[in-house]
Chains A and B, each alone.
Chain A
């Protein structure tokens, strides 16, 4: 099956700093999502971004599908940004095990005041 690798595994920032999280995937995808899992365990949709660039406030994401990677940018980080950031992809093609999101192991972000 498709492999999803996220880097870095852990990241510690001071409030106000910027950061870039990376997601590499091993096969063609038709779906890519970024999620934030907050300290209470909730999975919050950040971006649905199979290709291109999107921005939402201080967060933005870029997916270069032809080169099989996606980047999540966090600017002017706040303590509330702490948590685990997951990338999840769905393989191109139809049928069988392609009907699913495959998750990376996540990046644990800690933002200190």
Chain B
């Protein structure tokens, strides 16, 4: 099993550009999450999904959108990138609530 796979690993965007961060998991997990990590901080939840077709906002959803058309995939869309979105983004998955979560390797995004 590859676990949770994120692409790309690194990306530089110009202000106002858009991009999609890809996340896929092969563990047949129901729950998937997107977090961001700012320097010296823990991770904050952007969006989460409890199953295909179901998504909801986390703590810091502004400037982002998600979709969950399949169990495996949970892409994160950035529209009109801003310098405040410079961060490391982590995708995670778990079988259900209160179960162990597994994280991808992260995407380091810089907006200039």
Contact = CB atoms under 8 A, between A and B. Distances in A.
Interface stretch (A41-49, A58-66, A73-81): A41-49
Contacts of B106: 41-43
A8 to B, nearest CB: 15
A100 B32 CA distance: 10
B5 to A, nearest CB: 13
Q: Chain B binding site: helix, strand, loop or mixed by DSSP?
A: strand
Size bin of chain B's contact surface = 20 to 34
A31 B95 CA distance: 13
B43 A103 contact: yes
A103 B88 CA distance: 15
Interface in B88-105: 88, 90, 92, 97-103, 105
Contact of A101 (B40, B88, B101): B101
Contacts of A45: 100, 102-103
Nearest to B100: A48
A41 B48 contact: no
20 contacts: A30-B97, A31-B98, A31-B99, A33-B101, A41-B88, A41-B105, A41-B106, A42-B105, A42-B106, A43-B103, A45-B102, A48-B100, A88-B42, A88-B43, A90-B97, A99-B48, A100-B48, A100-B58, A105-B40, A105-B42
